[in-house]
Amino acid sequence: MSTLSFQPVTSIWIILIFACAALLMLFVRPSFANINDSQRKKLNLLRSFVVLMALLGLMRPGCVQTEEKLQAGVMLFLLDISRSMQLPHIDDNSTRWDTIKKALTDNQHKFQKLAEKQIETRFFGFDNLVSPIEFDTRLNLPKSPEGGETDIGTPIFNSTLETRGERLIGVFLASDGVQTVLNPAVEISQAITPLVDMETPLFSIPLGSPADTGQIADVSIKNFAEQHVVNVKNKLSATATIVSRGYRDQDIRIELVIIDSLGREKVVDPPTIVTPTRGVEETNVEITYKPTEPGEYRMKIRAVPMPGELALRNNELDAFLTVNDKGLSVAFIDGGVAWEQSYLRRSLASAEFIDLTFVPIYPSEIEAGSQDLEELFSDDSIDVFILSNVSSRLLYDKNDNPNGLQALHDAVTDRGKGLMMMGGYHSFGPGLYHSTPLAEILPIKMSGRERQDFNADIRRELHIVDELTMKPAQPSEMTNLGEDAVDWSELPPLVGANRFAEISRNGTVILESNDAARHPLMVASAVNGRVLAFAGDSLWRWNLKGIKKHGRTFKLEYDRFWRQIILWLSRAPKDDESISIDFPQRRFLPRGRVRFGVKAQSVAGEELNGVSYAGTLIQPDGQKQIVSVPASGEGNWNEVDRDMLTTPGVYMLEIEGQRDQQSLGTARRQFVVMDRDIEKSNPVANIERMTMLANQTRDFGGKVLEPAQLGQLLDELIANPPVEKIQIPTRWRFGETKYDSGAFLILFVLLLAAEWILRKKWGLV
């Protein structure tokens, strides 16, 4: 179909007036010479052609011719080429790879027919990477699948995105549905999103047999993290998934085993009991462990074999546990819901080296009697105790509950634990601590006259009610906020504080008010363990933006101050600096990619700069090799040469750090090169996953296919190709090409020349 159009160079009325004027001029005869009728007709004919050509050039005619063509389409075949495809497909000797290979080669002539229908077929193989498979007249499939870990979601997502500019007709996925990669770039749940957006069907071709729950009884462990890091005395929480088949309503014993550097095993008590309620069930199990000694440990989570269970290799899964020698355990006992406890808890909990236990005791509980915390105060794993606005009447009774605060007193004086009491309406004297065992270890003097009753008006004479800017009374490691910190006078003031009437003989004032009164605000003492009395409870305001002229928060100063308080109370060496190694994963295949990051930091969590590193790899046979560790980029990430990782076993990586020609210490971390093929360790195919993927595109034709059904579907596509006709326009405009514009110019000049020659010949010029 063609359509004619014009694109005049100016107004159509001007062009028509010009054409009419030019044609009227043909009737004007020359007055100085006579010509006959034949000569006049010849001149008028030439001049008419000139006028018509001029009119043609001014109107610029054009046409659009539309042609219908079939729109080309693309079909993708994604083939699993991981080693799991070497496993059986069904109960005979055929492998999963042999099955899909036969289905494709038997139908490869049909791919040629699809090409004739404007449907291009592209083939890709995938494990944890995607690679194209050549297809000319025949498929060049690998003889045997040798790929590593399987990543199903990423190949689907990336390959479909690459066809965004084309018409994707369908995606065929041939796999056993078992994903073994630990950290996929695209999760399986997100992989189908592009196909749903484009309304493109996914055809799943499951390979392998599902587990028959009526015949197979099995317990397996999966999804157990490869590595765990915890500070000594801190609690470790480890989660694993237990998959049970055929043990409904039976108790399954799950154990956590810790293995030290000498290979000695310790089973952590108590074990966890899992009781499945269905024939096939997945259960998440949380295992807790509180290490008491620092070091590097191997750990495994183990399911005790059940009666009738034949496959036992999947009953346990190994991991690594690093216990750092920096763990500090803090017990925070609070007597009311206030802002300070909220901010302080968050600050301490964010420090990697602090394990915080929070014990709220509210004034409303006074009717139930004092709380017996003797067990908590006697816990030798706790390094520091904090009492915040909690009345002694909630913790101590001379007749009925005398052992609680006595146990806290003994923890400080006998075992060297740290104690801090913070300000509040029921702290110190108002909380009647003068009559408790803590009176002799707190660095201030108190009396019964300071009593503050519950549900009574606050006795203002016991408190300083004005804003108080603090300043250090003397140099102390607790009050050093760092080189980049602001001066203490710039920090937000306290909104009030407890009034300390008198300091004990062994008390030392650390912080005082920055005014003429110089009220003592923080007082320290040492009675074997270290003790602090802090009169304030409003340092949380340091976390608020815009309290002072700087218009920023002082969270860094807040965190540093409180962490230094905890370090001082626990007698931890503040300036201890150490090297740490970070492994994204700890289990590898031979010649796997082992990445690690290195950093140096102080106990307070400050990262150190200007550090140089030297690395050594200790192989399973004890041989040592140098590992290059250049300090570059965020996290100082590096890799171990893969040629060093050929032997299965446990490896040790040692990194020593130096700054200013002084050693900062040496970090040691283990990792394991496995002597088993994770791709071939699970013979059960995940048919449910393959079905779920296809069902997400069911509205657009997606479905599950048996390998033998592939040819039938291809025949349907050949008979009724899902192609569309598109209108392809061909446009032409007079004068837009050099050919028609050149021809027009030559013809126009020739007509003018012929007309001039005739007039010359007949004596008209």
**99 and 118 within one domain:** yes
What is the sign of the dihedral through the CA atoms of 403, 405, 411 and 413?
negative
At 465 the three-state DSSP class reads: coil
C-alpha dihedral sign at 143, 144, 149, 155: positive
Using H for helix, E for strand and C for coil, what is the string for 260-300? CCCCCEEEEEEEEEECCCCCEEEEEEEEEECCCCCEEEEEE
**Which pLDDT tens digit goes with each residue over 652-665?**
899 998 888 888 88
Residue 569 has a pLDDT of 93
Domain assignment of residue 288, yes or no? yes
Lowest-confidence segment of 159-168, 345-354, 453-462, 676-685 by average pLDDT: 676-685
- Taking a C-beta distance cutoff of 8 angstroms, is the pair 513, 468 a contact? yes
| Amino acid identity, position 764 | L
In the listed set 284, 300, 324, which residue is the last one of a domain according to the structure? 324
pLDDT of residue 675: 63
Q: What is the CATH number of the domain that holds 494?
A: 3.40.50.880
pLDDT for 512-543, tens place per residue? 999 999 999 999 999 999 999 999 999 988 88
**Mean of the pLDDT values across residues 60-66?**
78
Among residues 525, 420, 509, 524, which one has the least CA distance to residue 471? 509
| Res 159: pLDDT | 87
Query: Residue 282: pLDDT above 60?
Result: yes
Of 601, 748, 750, 583, nearest to 668 (Cα)? 583
Could you tell me if 269 and 382 lie in one domain? no
Same domain, 524 and 434: yes
Per the model's pLDDT, the better-predicted residue between 634 and 401 turns out to be 401
The CATH number linked to 645 is 2.60.40.1930
Judge if 243 and 171 occupy the same domain: no
Q: Does residue 424 lie in a domain region?
A: yes
Could you tell me if residue 747 is inside a domain? yes
pLDDT digits (tens, 9 = 90+) for 313-331: 678 888 888 887 666 889 9
pLDDT the model gives residue 324: 73
- Using the Cα atoms of residue 326, residue 332, residue 337 and residue 338 in order, give the sign of their dihedral: negative
pLDDT band of residue 490 (cuts 50, 70, 90) is confident
Are 669 and 713 in the same domain? no
The pLDDT confidence band at residue 213, using thresholds 50, 70 and 90, is very low
Beta strands 529-534 and 418-422 are parallel
Q: Are 70 and 723 in contact (CB under 8 A)?
A: yes
Q: Quick one: pLDDT at residue 626? A: 93
**Torsions phi, psi for 398 (to 5 deg):** -60, -30
Calpha distance 350→357 (Å, rounded)? 13
Most confident by average pLDDT, 98-112, 155-169, 391-405, 629-643: 98-112
Residues in a beta bridge with 627: 615
Distance CA 269, CA 266 (A): 9
CATH, residue 702: 3.40.50.410
**Amino acid making up residue 555:** K
What tokens does 724 get? 């569309």
Domain that holds residue 38: 2-67+730-761
Examine the pLDDT at 211 and tell me if it is beyond 80.
no
48 is a domain residue: yes
Q: What is the DSSP string of 680-718?
A: SS-----HHHHHHHHHTTGGGT-EE--GGGHHHHHHHHH
In this predicted structure, what is the pLDDT of residue 724? 62
Please state the rounded mean pLDDT for residues 696-723: 90
**Are 121 and 114 contacting, i.e. CB atoms less than 8 angstroms apart?**
yes
Q: Is 107 exposed, middle or buried (0-12, 13-18, 19+ CB in 10 A)?
A: middle
Nearest to 296 by CA among 269, 325, 276: 325
**Looking at residue 331, what is its pLDDT?**
93
DSSP 8-class letter at 128: S
Q: Between the CA of residue 56 and those of 52, 64, 322, 510, what are the distances in Å? A: 6, 18, 89, 100
Domain identity same for 651 and 709: no
pLDDT at 214: 43
Pairing of strands 61-70, 662-673: unpaired
Report, as an integer, the average pLDDT of 723-742.
Answer: 72
Choose one of 324, 357, 385: the last residue of a domain: 324
Q: Helix or strand or coil: residue 408?
A: helix
CA atoms within 13 A on the CB side of 525: 20
Q: Would you call the peptide bond into 276 cis, given omega within 30 degrees of 0 as the criterion?
A: no
Give 322's strand partners: 229, 296
Measure the CA angle with vertex 188, ends 172 and 587; round to 5°.
115
* 312 and 354 fall within a common domain: no
pLDDT single digits (tens) 112-124 = 899 888 888 999 9
Nearest alpha-carbon partner for 269 in 257, 259, 261, 260: 257
The overall average pLDDT reported for the chain is 84
- Of the pLDDT bands very low, low, confident and very high (cuts 50, 70, 90), residue 92 is low
Q: Are the beta carbons of 497 and 520 closer than 8 angstroms?
A: no
Say whether both 392 and 378 belong to one domain. Answer: yes
Say how many CA atoms lie within 13 Å of 268 toward its Cβ.
22
Based on the structure, what is the number of domains in the chain? 5
Position 86 pLDDT exceeds 50: yes
- CB of 237 closer than 8 Å to CB of 208: no
If you average pLDDT over each of 14-28, 293-307, 351-365, 507-521, which comes out highest?
A: 507-521
Read off the amino acid at residue 451: R
Rounded CA separation 717/711 (Å): 10
Q: Is residue 678 part of a domain?
A: no
SS3 665: strand
Identify which of 620, 625, 617, 568 has the alpha carbon closest to the alpha carbon of residue 596.
617
Beta bridge mates, 316: 302
Question: Do residues 273 and 251 make contact, with C-beta atoms less than 8 angstroms apart?
Answer: yes
| Inter-residue contact 201 to 297 (CB < 8 Å) | no
258 within 8 A of 301, measured Cβ to Cβ: no
Q: For helices 555-570 and 339-349, what crossing angle results, to 10°?
A: 70
**3 state DSSP class of 392:** helix
pLDDT at 576 over 60: no
How far apart, in whole angstroms, are the C-alpha atoms of residue 211 and residue 708? 21
pLDDT for position 79: 94
Closest CA to 388 of 352, 419, 346, 354: 419
Structure tokens at 697: 């595109």
Burial class (CB in 10 A: 0-12, 13-18, 19+), 553: middle
> Is pLDDT at 21 greater than 60 in this prediction?
yes
Among 50-59, 320-329, 440-449, 723-732, the least confident range: 723-732
Number of H-type helices and E-type strands within the chain: 14, 37
Q: Are 176 and 235 in the same domain?
A: no
> In whole angstroms, what is the distance from residue 483 CA to residue 192 CA?
52
| Residues 191 and 250 occupy one common structural domain | no
Same domain, 547 and 592: no
Torsion of CA 747, 752, 757, 758, to 10 degrees: 100
Q: 32-37 long-range contacts, Cβ below 8 Å, gap at least 24?
A: 33/762, 33/763, 33/764, 35/762, 35/764
Q: What is the mean pLDDT of residues 217-226?
A: 81
CA nearest neighbour of 667 among 613, 606, 610, 594: 613
∠ Cα 649 651 654 (to 5°): 175
Cβ-Cβ contacts under 8 Å for 36 (sequence gap 6 or more): none
Are the CB atoms for 585 and 226 separated by under 8 Å?
A: yes
Q: What does the pLDDT average to over 260-271?
A: 86
Using DSSP's 3-state secondary structure scheme, residue 722 falls into coil
The two structure tokens encoding residue 586: 């700890």
Read off the pLDDT of residues 590-630 as tens digits, 9 standing for 90 and up: 878 898 999 887 655 567 778 889 999 999 888 999 998 88
Name residues whose C-beta falls within 8 Å of residue 35's C-beta, 6 or more positions apart in sequence.
43, 762, 764
CA distance 139 to 133: 7
At residue 215, the pLDDT reads 45
pTM over 0.75: no
Domain assignment present for residue 679? The answer is: no
Q: What CATH code is carried by the domain that includes residue 246?
A: 2.60.40.10
- Does residue 86 share a domain with residue 192? yes
Q: What CA dihedral angle connects 288, 291, 295 and 300, to 10 degrees?
A: -30
Domain C-terminal end among 324, 358, 381: 324
